[in-house]
Structure 1
Amino acid sequence: MNQKTKDILPGLGLSFIVAGISKIIAIWIPSIGAATIAILLGILLGNTFFKQPFLSKGTKLAESLLLELSIVLLGTTVTFQTIAHMGFNGIGFIIFQMAGTIVGVYLIGKKMNFSKKMSLLMAGGNAVCGSSAIGAIAPEIEASDEEKGQIITLVNLLGTVLMLTLPFIATSVFSDVLTQSALIGGTLQSVGQVVASASMVSKEVVEFSTLFKIMRIIMLVVVVFCFSKFTEKDRVQTINEVTDAKTKKKLPLPWYIIGFLFFCTVNSFVHLPEEISQGAHFISGWFEITALAAIGLRLDFAKFFKEGVRFLIYALLVGILQIILALSLIYVFQI
């Protein structure tokens, strides 16, 4: 066993154990569900007994890779007919929600004297897919590692707060699954937060909110391109930077979205055997709950409170903007 594997096993193993315990608890509390229990139990344990640094590599792998694999396997249970339930109104909602978030967050940032780059990172991270979007946008607008790190922390803080509050708003204001899914999937920052938040409502909301989220992630290519053009005059690239940009070829979309679309396409045109879809659903469920446990274990509230008041006010205003915008657009598009 190599050193890399040894470093991963403790955190990965702990994530699976928390997921298993959550499944057992869910037998006695089925109304809450294993997914919700996993993230709440993870948060409790991660901020009390399991704060050791050696667990971080394993929990990080569980949070990212297992959740991504879960989304790929979701493609085996979804067809284009399922996606069609969202309709053109759903697509319109996502486009206007993203555009409104980008413009609003950027203007709030500028009004609060944040730099142009930090405002754009905050706008893109909240509009698309959290840390992944920030990581894709940062090199295009030449943001520093410090700027990127600060905004990632801020976006994760806001996402955590919204993750825990949106289920209550969704169930209080709406009764329809698609509408609840639009609010959660169209607002939350990361895929993990969407799945965790939707799990607090129902399995159906998890499926449709994930589809709304996937639509936002697909738009990442467009957002990165627009941000690059918007900051083009501000950037002075050297010959080496231009050369490096040309030689580095990236996938147009995250690999797990491509995998999801592939399996979704296959499932739409070829009827997959029941054994395959059931097996994929079972594995996907385990991966999802384990990833949610890891997300909970990695949420260190102490880090969030270290950020300045100005940053926290920025996050609060952005969260209020996103919720009001989503509720308004859901009404406009009659989802």
Structure 2
Amino acid sequence: MKLKHLLFWLGLLLSLTPIITSPTALVLGFFISSLGLIPDNLALTKLTKKLLSYSIIGLGFGIPLQQALTVTSHGIGLVMCTILGTLVIGALVARIMGLNSKTGHLIASGTAICGGSAIAAVAPAIEADDNQIGLALGTVFVLNSVALFLFPMIGHLLHLNQATFGTWAAIAIHDTSSVVGAASAYGTEALKTATTLKLARALWIIPVAFLSAFAFRSESRKITIPYFILFYCIAIGIADLLPAGQVIYHGIFAIAKQALVVCLYLIGCGISVERLKQSGPKPFVFGVLLWITISCSSLGWLLTHPV
């Protein structure tokens, strides 16, 4: 192990302890990345994606089946409206701003569903090039980082209850990692609500990717299916059908929560100053406008119709 990479591994070890919170882990990772202390042979993106999937599956063991059904049934109408509304508004605003239609659609899809995962699924369906994908991912990464800090602050300022905050986070924050990070910082019940509703939202990746392929007249129909959502549902089912293993399930849930902190640390390590510069002003402004729209409209609805 090279001496200059020692700080990276120390940060990783700290992320495994309760000392480091989700937002702190993200900032620590970005700081280490900015210093160029990330091991060159480490496939951060692949590692983070796998760890995030396993962590979410682990969270399933700590979520009661009845709660999962209740959260999904109560929030599904708002989920459908915000997804459709974000995609339609995104298409109109992108045209008004003169933004490339594919770049705009990728950012809108990431905002509407689940950030980088949605972008990764929709990109091959519309045959987006690397530059368009990079701009969309860069924009989403920045806004995710801001949301991780901003949302819990707003939630506490408005005295949102756990369920309401979890619902708002699941709808208005892009990536699943940042949703669970912000919700985890807010409370355990917020985490359970946010995770369940966010994964129900993520199921819309599949129909949106199919519709995107037709909308952009793409020859390609390659779509990435998030199978971890299925395993997450199976984990909830196992915990409900076999209640005798509650001690084990609680242990898995606790490990999964800590693994999410590690995910945020690794995501921070993957964010570079170059990637932030790549986003450029127009895609970033577009992403911010969409994000403000979905955040404020969903929050307004939840304040008048509390969960």
Corresponding residue for residue 3 of structure 1: none
Residues 53, 274 of structure 1: alpha-carbon distance in 2 compared, 3 angstrom cutoff: closer
Query: Distance between the aligned counterparts of 1:139 and 1:90, measured in 2?
Result: 29
Query: Distance between the aligned counterparts of 1:19 and 1:35, measured in 2?
Result: 12
Matched, 1:99 2:92: no
CA deviation after TM superposition for structure 1 residue 75, in Å: 1.5
For this pair of structures, how many residues does the alignment match?
306
* CA displacement 1:15-56 (0-9 Å, x = unmatched): 664253256573xxxxxx6334323332333333x4446165
Contact kept? 1:45, 1:297, Cα under 8 Å: yes
Q: Root-mean-square deviation (CA), in Å?
A: 2.8
Q: Percent of aligned positions with the same letter in both sequences?
A: 22
Matched, 1:116 2:101: yes
State the TM-score, normalizing by the size of structure 2: 0.87
Secondary structure of 1:200's aligned partner: helix
State the TM-score, normalizing by the size of structure 1: 0.81
Identify the match of residue 293 of structure 1 among 235, 256, 265.
265
Between structure 1 and structure 2, the one with the greater Rg is 1
Identify the match of residue 280 of structure 2 among 282, 285, 308.
308
Matched, 1:284 2:256: yes
* CA displacement 1:175-195 (0-9 Å, x = unmatched): 310111111111111111112
Contact kept? 2:86, 2:294, Cα under 8 Å: yes
Query: Distance between the aligned counterparts of 2:233 and 2:147, measured in 1?
Result: 28
> What does 1:3-152 correspond to in 2, within 5 Å?
17-22=10-15, 26=19, 34-48=21-35, 50-52=36-38, 54=40, 56-57=42-43, 59-86=44-71, 88-152=73-137
Secondary structure of 1:114's aligned partner: coil
The one-letter code of the counterpart of 2:211 is C
Query: Distance between the aligned counterparts of 2:279 and 2:46, measured in 1?
Result: 26
Query: Distance between the aligned counterparts of 1:82 and 1:97, measured in 2?
Result: 22
The one-letter code of the counterpart of 1:280 is I
Secondary structure of 1:186's aligned partner: helix
Query: Distance between the aligned counterparts of 1:308 and 1:42, measured in 2?
Result: 22
Residues 224, 54 of structure 1: alpha-carbon distance in 2 compared, 3 angstrom cutoff: same
CA deviation after TM superposition for structure 1 residue 325, in Å: 1.9
* CA displacement 1:210-238 (0-9 Å, x = unmatched): 11211110111121122223233xx4x4x
The one-letter code of the counterpart of 1:155 is V
